[in-house]
Amino acid sequence: MDFVSIVRVALRALTRNKMRSVLTMLGIIIGVGAVIAMVGVGEGASQQVQQRIDAMGSNLLYVQSGSHQQGAVRVGWGATKTLRYADEQAILAQVPAVKAAAAGTGTSGQVIYNGNNWGTQIEGTEPSYFQIRAWTFDLGSSFSQQDVSDGNNVAVLGATVVANLFPDGEDPIGKTIRIKNLPFRVVGTLLSKGQSGYGQDQDDEVYIPFTVLLKKLTGRFWLSNIAVTAVSNQATDAAEQQITELLRSRHRIRPGEPDDFAVRNLAAYAQAASASSSIMTMLLASIASVSLIVGGIGIMNIMLVSVTERTREIGIRMAVGATEADVQKQFLIEALVLASLGGIIGIIVGLVASWLISAIAQWPVEVSALSIVVAALFSAGIGIFFGFYPAKKAARLDPIDALRFE
């Protein structure tokens, strides 16, 4: 028998028991659909995590003011006053693993414009901070380093602040707002960044030159933090070590004494979050794949039943010249057709399920072409794997015994 004839015979055998064939394919349909939908959910979650990581900035480290001992009381993080602007300049000049740095300090306050007011976080920083965090401007631009040096009253607004101060859609650029009764000219607004990994609204902030915040709003002379970006992702650990050694030397901390600052390596947190998301995607795909295995077992079961039912037919075919290879191919093709057709329908089911999850649950779902191809190939492989034993059993039937079978 040629290949086309074998396929024709296999399809005729499957259509003879339509309901049984459909029920057999159901396991593959559910399995493939579940794999595509679950991988899509996992990929969507991974992209969401990656967006959060990108919003943090690349290769990011934070140098924060630390704690110190007051008698028997150990004061918590942020209590020291030893972190200065000169430290930031020294980091830029003396740490080769650092690409950029930005001084930072903050306070909270009421922001007012034209009868609208909003309580928000006021962050004092430098223009390099927006580059370090890789934030995109919606309107206008950042204030300049000259504004920082001269102590000019200029501000960049987050999206939440813009929405509350300019609810009618008025262009904020060039407008004068008041922060703690001091006038500030708006020079830029940022695109919405959403929540941080800690659940904080990253858009509910106003950014001004740190020199203005220190001298005119708080009266302080020390920094709360220094944002640092390393030259590469691989250099973050080296940058952390070099910054620690430099600041211990500058702050004259003796060996054995605790640091009066803390270096937070956010790149390590980002890598851990990304790895966890990938593991979650693999776990979802593995759980969904179990139903594919179950579907394959269903195919094997039905093919074994089919071999038993068609024993006499097999004997007749072999008696008129069909070889063992012909019989084996026939049953393998039947199993492959069941699995492949179930896989195609399963792909459609998976795409529809992914769309429903995204539309109804408002969950980000990203279906990749690779997941569709892998699911289709896996379903075909399931058909071949679980169809091989029944096909081998059918091919090894003795023609004489098969002809006698009732």
| Greatest mean pLDDT range, 22-36, 37-51, 148-162 | 148-162
pLDDT of residue 56: 58
When pLDDT is cut at 50, 70 and 90, the band that residue 250 belongs to is very high
Distance from C-alpha of 268 to C-alpha of 273, rounded to nearest angstrom: 9
At 382, the amino acid letter reads I
Task: Please determine, for residue 242, whether its predicted confidence score (pLDDT) is greater than 90.
Answer: yes
pLDDT of residue 73: 45
Q: For the stretch 230-266, what's the b/e string if a residue is b when 16 or more beta carbons lie within 10 angstroms of its beta carbon?
A: bbeeebbebbbebbbebbbebbebeeeeeebbbbebb
pLDDT of residue 328: 78
Phi, psi at 63, each rounded to 5°: -100, 115
Q: List Cβ neighbours of 377 (8 Å cut-off, separation of 6 or more).
A: none
Torsion of CA 243, 244, 250, 256, to 10 degrees: -170
Distance from C-alpha of 252 to C-alpha of 331, rounded to nearest angstrom: 81
Low-confidence winner among 14-28, 90-104, 284-298 (lowest mean pLDDT): 284-298
Q: Hey, where are the domains in the chain? A: 3-52+272-404, 81-259
At 318, the amino acid letter reads M
Distance from C-alpha of 375 to C-alpha of 17, rounded to nearest angstrom: 26
Residue 38's DSSP bridge partners are: none
| Greatest mean pLDDT range, 17-21, 79-83, 100-104 | 100-104
Closest CA to 242 of 255, 230, 258, 260: 230
pLDDT of residue 298: 80
Q: What is the pLDDT of residues 157-173, one digit of tens each?
A: 999 999 999 998 899 99
pLDDT of residue 228: 92
What percent of the chain lies above the pLDDT cut of 90? 31
Phi, psi at 131, each rounded to 5°: -75, -40
Mean pLDDT of the chain: 82
Q: List Cβ neighbours of 236 (8 Å cut-off, separation of 6 or more).
A: 59, 61, 97, 230, 265, 267, 268
* Direct distance between the N- and C-terminal alpha carbons of the chain, in angstroms, rounded to an integer: 26
* C-alpha pair distances (Å), 71 with each of 65, 66, 82, 254: 19, 16, 18, 19
Helix, strand, or coil (residue 179): strand
Mean pLDDT along residues 50-72: 65
Helix, strand, or coil (residue 327): helix
pLDDT of residue 115: 86
What count of other Cβ atoms lies within 10 Å of the Cβ of residue 405? Answer: 13
Helix, strand, or coil (residue 250): helix
pLDDT of residue 71: 47
pLDDT of residue 103: 93
Q: What is the pLDDT of residues 114-152, one digit of tens each?
A: 989 999 999 999 999 998 888 899 999 999 999 999 999
Contact 330, 10 (CB under 8 A): yes
Q: Are strands 176-179 and 154-157 parallel, antiparallel or unpaired?
A: unpaired
**3-class secondary structure for 354-406?**
HHHHHHHCCCCCCCCHHHHHHHHHHHHHHHHHHHHHHHHHHHCCCHHHHHHCC
Contact 244, 259 (CB under 8 A): yes
Tokens of 100: 């950029």
Q: List Cβ neighbours of 271 (8 Å cut-off, separation of 6 or more).
A: none
Task: Please determine, for residue 180, whether its predicted confidence score (pLDDT) is greater than 80.
Answer: yes
